[in-house]
Amino acid sequence: MARTVTLSIEKMHCGSCVGRVDRALAAVSGVQDVSVNLATETALITGQGSGLVDRLVSAAEAAGYPAHVAEDADYDKQEQRDAEALALNRRVILAVVLGLPVFILEMGGHMVPAFHHMIHQTIGQQASWTIQATLTTMVLIGPGRSFYTDGLPALFRAAPDMNSLVAVGTLAAYFYSMTVLIVPEVLPVEARAVYFEAAAVIVVLILVGRWLEARAKGKTGAAISSLLRLQPKTAQVLQDGKPVEVAVAKLVPGDLILLRPGESAPVDGVVASGQSHMDESMLTGEPMPVPKAQGDVVTGGTVNGNGSLTVKATRVGKDTVLAGIVRMVQEAQGAKLPIQALVDRITLWFVPVVLVVATVTVIVWLLVGPQPVLSYALVAGVSVLIIACPCAMGLATPTSIMVATGRAAERGVLFRKGDALQSLAEVDVIAFDKTGTLTEGEPALRLFTPAENFDRAQTLACVAAVEERAEHPVARAIVAAVHDEGLSLPQADKVAAQSGLGISGNVDGKHVTVGSDRLMRDIGVDVSAFDSTATPAAARGETVFYAAIDGQVAAMITVVDRIKPNAATVLRALHEKGLKTVMITGDKAETAQTIADEIGVTTVIAGVMPRGKVDAIARLQSDGRKVAFVGDGINDAPALAAADIGIAIGTGTDVAIQSADVVLMSGDLQGVQTAHHISTQAMRNIRQNLFWAFGYNTALIPVAAGVLFVPLGVLLSPMLAAGAMALSSVFVLTNALRLRRV
């Protein structure tokens, strides 16, 4: 049986690292799918077979990337990221302290000639070079050591990464300069110049870039961190009637928890006593508090209002709704979009190609470059190596996914699958179920008209006895009406539901059937006696169905289901984005069309059974359109699965809907518009990042190689190349963070 494993991967620094980890894990026997995420530094693997985890860890480590199984605590990496940023901060400060004098000693004379003369007249050039060599050596073996301990082994394994580029570039400048310092006679006089400042400043600038990157990465995972912080660490458990503080990890179902005003619910449960209001905005995105009394459900992470509640724990630990939400967001953030496949193929070969380009650049400069040819060749080669580091490429997609899915979760939208982010942005048609989706899903009995010779109270009681066994909202409306009228319900047996048509059973020796006119026709019951009242009712938007007793029509029943208040507004907004809207319902065409006209649905497909919804979606897809279907996630499961994107409207607790790609935590249709808006903005953001990442390298590698030297006399400095490389990653991360405001 297939299982999913999440590994934390160390030492990933760029897109080429992602490609090598992906390839190494995919080669493990039994692996079916791999998704490696640079931003989260994790790998999500689906596979089967004994010893799968051990084989995956071994494969990652053999590729040069230590790995371990990610525990739940690993997902909240804020403290880890803060520690990494602090450690990088110390390295940056040390590198600046050591590297700044090198820069001043060498470049000060170029910028201020008087400074150059002062150096010559005081300590002398040789002493200046010796000081630079000493300080640069300290920079390389101190704060810059990781570039060489990670980059050189990767190079020797024939799997170079960005560290390899930095290592080769800085060491080339360093050893060339040491040669000039120690054995200058092996080089022509015109080539005797040192580049210690290039090696030192490159390390400084790249470390600064990594520090900024680490800080930005911390912000991309803010949504997960905020979700995890919603659950308190301890709870007040009633033991012998007295509250005792207990760690949340030790709570078990059945515990009675005292929830004071302003406290967050530690687990899911049911109110045992007390009255209050709960802030459920973390689930639904809706700010209005929800009243809670005995018997009402309380969700872990929601915040109590002014009252005190005693809550009986029902689900704890990994079984809570909050834990399920966190898992969904984590899985979505770790997913790989289809657009990422191209990036992975490019970055896997990018670093080796850059090494070849740098080598060719050096050779060309040596063959046709001006004097001092060695100096020019070194500068150009090092600049190519440094500026081409593919960090921005590796971060372009995953950072946007992390921020977008996290922001969506904050607004009550859960992308269960990361690729849904791209698919939803590409849809042409959004199809809706009617009951519970476009309408409130709480129909009320409008008319119960008995046929001639049938007693209203007795007939209603028989119908309700059968409907009591059903879960459909219409059934609940009939049962509620019976209770309101104070009628007693007889016992029903041999109850059988007929999907999409109705229900039947035996009551007091009578066979009762309740359902649509289609069902009545199928069983040979004539309902024409009600035609004069049924047609106007359907035209008013009421749902019409019938009851038959022992093969004779016994009553006409109509229920009315209020349209959701913002349905028309949401559909109008979708139309403005160029989307076609469709209503697919089992209701009669007249009723469906009346509702469609009121809210502005483009097309109506009525009178269909659950299987018919699947066929209707297939017909829409046959025109080459991508279709999203919005339903309740239970009765509409086949349609949700058949659509290109399934969007399930939940109630705030139904987050385990397996057939949907996107789950809306509230019943508010605004969530559909929110989900589509976030997906389109995320894809726009990703394209911007990729354009920058690829455009940056495409434009600046030739410049670094020296194509502007002949026409303009411009040759890019390795230090400027390092600064540009570091800033490219920061730009991508900063651009992704803009999604926090959508």
Residue 664's DSSP bridge partners are 413, 649
Tell me how far apart the alpha carbons of residues 21 and 37 are, in angstroms, rounded to a whole number. Answer: 10
Sheet containing 256-259, strands listed edge to edge, beginning at the edge strand earlier in sequence: 242-247, 234-239, 256-259, 309-315, 268-274, 297-298
Give the type of residue at 448.
Answer: F
Place of tokens 């760029």: 14
The residues with which 309 forms a beta bridge, in sequence order, are 259, 274
Question: Is 433 an active-site residue?
Answer: yes
Residue 415's identity, in one-letter code, is: F
Closest CA to 299 of 285, 316, 287: 316
DSSP-derived pairing of the beta strands 234-239 and 256-259: antiparallel
Query: 563 and 571 in contact (C-beta within 8 Å)?
Result: no
Q: Are 707 and 701 in contact (CB under 8 A)?
A: no
Contact 212, 730 (CB under 8 A): yes
Secondary structure (H, E, C), 506-545: EECCEEEEEECHHHHHHCCCCCHHHHHHHHHHHHCCCEEE
The DSSP 8-state label assigned to residue 128 in this structure reads H
Pairing of strands 627-631, 429-432: parallel
The SS3 of residue 463 is helix
**Strands across the sheet containing 290-292:** 290-292, 276-279, 303-304
Buried b / exposed e over 121-140, threshold 16 CB at 10 Å, is eeeeeeebbeebbebbbbbb
CA atoms of 126 and 129, how far apart (whole Å): 5
Residue 475 token pair: 């059934």
Q: How far is CA 345 from CA 529, 535, 689, 703, in A?
A: 69, 61, 17, 24
d(CA 642, CA 618) in angstroms, rounded, equals 8
Q: Are 329 and 260 in contact (CB under 8 A)?
A: no
Tokens 């969904």, residue? 328
> Is residue 37 within 8 Å of 186, Cβ to Cβ?
no
**How many other C-beta atoms are found inside a 10 Å radius of the C-beta of residue 89?**
15
Cβ-defined contacts of 640-648 (< 8 Å, 24+): 642/613, 642/614, 642/617, 642/618, 643/431, 643/617, 644/423, 644/427, 645/420, 645/423, 645/424, 645/427, 647/424, 647/672, 647/675
84 token code pair:
């990494």
Give Cα separations from 19 to 12, 153, 172 (angstroms): 10, 17, 27
The encoded tokens of residue 175 equal 């050893």
Residue 334, classed as helix, strand or coil, is coil
Secondary structure class of 740 (helix, strand, coil):
helix
Residue with tokens 């692996």: 31
Sheet holding 543-549, edge to edge: 444-450, 552-560, 543-549, 510-515, 502-507, 492-498
- 552: part of which helix (H) or strand (E)? strand 552-560
Catalytic residue, from 433, 517, 561, 632: name it: 433
Enzyme catalytic residues: 433
